[in-house]
Each structure stands twice: as C-alpha cells, then as structure tokens.
Amino acid sequence: MTIAKRRESERLRAERDAVIARSVRTLTDLFIEGASGHTLRDVDGREFTDLTGGIGVLTTGHRPDPVVRALRQQLDRYLHLCFMVFNYEPYVALAKALRGIAPLPDGKSAFFNSGAEAIENAVKTARASTGRPAIVSFQNSFHGRTLLTLSLTGKYQPYKVGFEPFAPEVYQAPFPYHYRCPPGHSEAECGPLALEGIERLFHAQVAPEKVAAIVFEPIQGEGGFIVPPKEFVRGLRELATKHGIVLVDDEVQAGLGRTARMFAIEHFGVQPDLVCTAKALGGGLPISGLTGRAEIMDAPVPGSIGGTFGGNPLACVAALENLRLIEASLEAGARLGKAISNRLEEIKEAHPLVGDVRGLGCMQALEFVRDPRTKESAREEAKAIQREARERGLLVLTAGMYDNVIRLLPPITMPPEAMARALDVLDESIGAVERSR
Ligand SMILES: Cc1ncc(COP(=O)(O)O)c(C=O)c1O
C-alpha cells in the first residue's frame, strides 16, 4: 500500500468522525471504492471477500448484472413519480411477482423503503383488520429501529438504550433457542416450552382476544441465526388461527432465497397471514414489501398506507430482476448452503471454542463459548476472530443475544471454490485466536 493511499483512507476516516453522528456506528474502518459479486475493494486498493452482504441484502452479490441493466434502462424512463399520485407498471409487476411466490394464497402487496417500515405497516394492517390493539413479539428478536419496531425488538443493548418510553401494547414471549434451553430442559422440550410461554402470557398479561398480531422471524437473524423447531412455528399458526390473530412473518433477513427456499417459513410447512420482505428484495436498492391475504391487506382505509418513496420505480425494476435471479439460483444456493454447513461442522470438531453450528441454506452461523459445559459467551473471542479474518481479507458479521455468534451471509450465487477458501480463512482465524488465549 502506498503512503499516499494510506493517507487517503486516514483523511476520509477523520472527515467521517467530524460529520457523522456517533450513534451511527460502522463495524469496520474501511472505506469502500468498488464492489462486484462477493468482492470489495477499499480506497487503499485492498481486496476483501464479503460475507456480510450489506447485512443480508446482497443475496445475489454486489451489482448483479440483470439488476444493473434494468436500472440503466429505467434511468432513461423516469426516476420518481410517487405511487400515491401516479400508477406505474413496475410497482404493479412487482406485486404480481410477489403474489406468484408468496407463501400464502392470492397475496396483495404494498411497498415501502425499509424492513422496519414493512413491519410497522404489518402491525397497522393487522390492527385495522382485527380492531384489536395488542402485539406479541419474541425475546431475542429484531424488527427494526423505528419506535414501534424497536418496541417489538427483544434485545436491549444497544438498540433500545436511552429511547424509552416504548410503544404500548407490545408483549414479549420466549423464543425457543435450542442451544440454550431453560435449565433442566432438553432440546426437544424447547419448542413446547416456548409455546407454553405464550399461553402463560395470554393468561397473565393480555387476553388473546385483544391481540391483533403475532410478529415473528422464522429464523432469528440479529438474534444469532436461531432456527426454531417445526412444532413451534406450527404451534404459532394454530394459536393465531384459534384466537383470530394475524400471523406476521418477518422475512426481512431470512427471506428471498437466503435459506435455500424463497421464504424461510416454507421449511416449516406453515402459511402466515402477512409476510414482510426487504433487504434482499431490491438487490441493493432500498425497497421493502408487505404481502398478505387480500381481506387483511384491504382492511386499512384508502390513503392510510403508503409513503413518498415507497416502491420507487428504480427499486421496483431492480427487485423484479433480482427476484428472477434468486429463483434461478435457489438450487445452487441450496448446494452452497450444504457445503457451508458440512465445513462448519468440521470446523466445530476442530475448535473447542465453537459451541454450536446452525442455520439453513446460506444463512449459517457459529456460536462461540469459553466452556462447552457452562456455555459462557466467548464474545471477546468472537470479536477477535472477526478481526483476524479481516486481517486475512475476509469480512464477517457477529450477532446474537450475547454477541458471540459469527454469522455468514454469502451471496447464494458465490462460486463454491471461493466459499471454500473463505471458510479456510475462517478456520485459520479461529485457530489463531485459540492459540493466543
Ligand atoms: C428480521 C429483521 N426485521 C426487520 C429489520 C429491519 O430492517 P431495516 O433495517 O431495513 O429497517 C431487520 C434488519 O436487520 C431484520 O433483520
């Protein structure tokens, strides 16, 4: 690296800190200049393998060709019209595409800019449809940073610090975390116990006939890639049906090809009433969707749902192309996911720091513990492994209630050889941290 180049990144970092709010934390100090597929290049000319995927956005990699081509064409048509003022075809076409793939029948859609907005609007829609106030969400969940979605979110640090009071009528139930079942209970009891937790909530805190929606992630993302047992998700469906509650499936992180199916909930054989998509939808453009059963989606009065930029034309054409690409890549993604999970199991065997390997498809994670018996969080070690990997040119994210999980979010289109090399680097990085303890 030349001195001139190094000065450039140092100058940019100093500038950043002077003008960007402290609350907006950036995981690395890298300034990125270019990106393609699974690779990033920084302003100092270094290359990195990117398994962060813009926190789960880049399911088809950086700048997928069909998305870039569609955007170029759209640039010559129109950039913004506002769907609340004019109709335009890409918005309708995207809703048709989602109807075709959604895990529920005859879906109608509305589009927004972020995952949090999709969840907010799911809650509004469920309330309008049921006439009820309360919402049940889960411990260890993440649904966004707006006041309502923050209120649904089941992790305090750092998201909620200093932002009280939260929205009322939100009730949090336990989520089955098979690696950390309550003491004295086996893994098999984890799902039924969590369902009992909801029943207890209905007796102790909120009557089920006051509950508009149960909002859940089919695999908890920020929570550390926790896959619940099938019976738990099926139990949620049964409870929702029994009490007339709208079941809201937050697929913002797990959806759209990430788990080798279009929607993560397909793994559980359950149909939700509303499904929220975002992150991967636009292939890098900001767009989110709320898709649901027509009678629920049509419950709020006309004009009550929308937003200036929601379903922006550029984002819609990007999403249309990206959904096609995801669909065409599902099988390759499933094969890649299998290879990742096999290799992670080998890594677990080789490294005592690895307590658990879990995930579905290309949504895989390692949980690090200091002692496999006590499962004491190895948060510092996980951070050290992340730093070691970065020194070796590999970028990964952490997650989890105890910040001791490394999660992998590769493009499902990533060449298997490149993924294998990345996992070798992860293996070496874990080894380096273990040796230094
Ligand atoms: C499951 C889930 N829901 C909602 C959100 C919020 O999405 P956004 O950051 O686009 O508002 C996230 C973001 O990480 C998420 O993982």
Q: Is 190 in the pocket of ligand 1 (CB under 6 A)?
A: no
Nearest CA to ligand 1 atom 4: 143
> May I ask the CATH architecture of the domain 3-64+330-435?
Alpha-Beta Complex (3.90)
Q: Is 222 in the pocket of ligand 1 (CB under 6 A)?
A: yes
Query: 3-64+330-435 and 65-326 share one CATH topology?
Result: no
Q: Is 52 in the pocket of ligand 1 (CB under 6 A)?
A: no
Q: Is 253 in the pocket of ligand 1 (CB under 6 A)?
A: yes
Mean pLDDT across the stretch 400-413? 97
Q: Is 116 in the pocket of ligand 1 (CB under 6 A)?
A: yes
Entry pTM: 0.97
Using the atom order of ligand 1, give the atom closest to the CA of residue 254. Answer: 1
Looking at residue 2, its pLDDT comes to 61
**Which mutation among 58, 141, 252 tests ligand 1's pocket best, with the greatest number of atoms within 8 A of CB?**
252
Looking at residue 369, its pLDDT comes to 98
Nearest CA to ligand 1 atom 13: 144
Instruction: Give the pLDDT confidence of 164-223 residue by residue, as tens digits.
Output: 999 999 999 999 999 999 888 988 999 999 999 999 999 999 999 999 999 999 999 999
Instruction: Give the pLDDT confidence of 81-112 residue by residue, as tens digits.
Output: 999 999 999 999 999 999 999 999 999 999 99
CA of 38 to the centre of ligand 1 (A): 21
For residue 4, pLDDT beyond 80: no
CA of 27 to the centre of ligand 1 (A): 17
Report whether 130 contacts 240 (CB < 8 A).
Answer: no
Q: Is 250 in the pocket of ligand 1 (CB under 6 A)?
A: yes
Domain ranges of the chain: 3-64+330-435, 65-326
β-pairing verdict for 170-173 and 363-368: unpaired
Q: Which fold has domain 65-326?
A: Aspartate Aminotransferase; domain 2 (3.40.640)
CA of 186 to the centre of ligand 1 (A): 31
